[in-house]
Amino acid sequence: MVHWVLRGVVLLWAAFFFILGVRGILDPATFTDMFGIAVDGGAANTVRADLSAFFLVSAGGAAIGALMPRWRGALFVPAALYGTALVGRLVGVASGDPVNGAIVQAMIVEALSTLLMAGSWRLLSRRAGPGIAEPA
């Protein structure tokens, strides 16, 4: 039962970030408002491609890891992406980059996302005890 609930949570996470990635492809100004990024001229194409790819690939990895038991390792894709983003932000903070509420919020989301994906991999990879059905 816990495995199904965990899979559901991961799939909801994936759906949210999938929608965010699609919105970014269709309208890069989505990222302008959300992340405070200026999208002028050719930068719109870069923002559209790079940020959307980040969210779509992480959502795809999470969905595959949640839905396909033999592919649980796909959960490491979003864990690695969000973990790397968090490390980059921490380096920026240590280097004296300005920090505001949006950056703190992004760091919290990145930390929780990394923990959710790595923890999900760990829990979904466990074998069931005696008398308990194996996870699907």
Q: pLDDT tens digits, residue range 46-95?
A: 888 999 999 999 999 999 999 998 999 999 999 999 999 999 999 999 99
Radius of gyration for the chain, computed over Cα atoms and rounded to the nearest angstrom: 17
Answer whether 136's CB lies under 8 Å from 69's CB: yes
Res 131 pLDDT > 80: no
- Which residues, at least 6 apart from 125, have a Cβ–Cβ distance to it below 8 Å? 72
Res 136 pLDDT > 80: no
**Sole residue written with tokens 């870069």:** 46
The confidence score (pLDDT) of residue 117 equals 97
pTM over 0.75: yes
Would you state the torsion angle of the CA atoms of residues 20, 23, 24, 27, taken in this order, to the nearest 10 degrees? -160
Res 127 pLDDT > 80: no
The confidence score (pLDDT) of residue 21 equals 95
- Which residues, at least 6 apart from 45, have a Cβ–Cβ distance to it below 8 Å? 28
- Which residues, at least 6 apart from 105, have a Cβ–Cβ distance to it below 8 Å? none
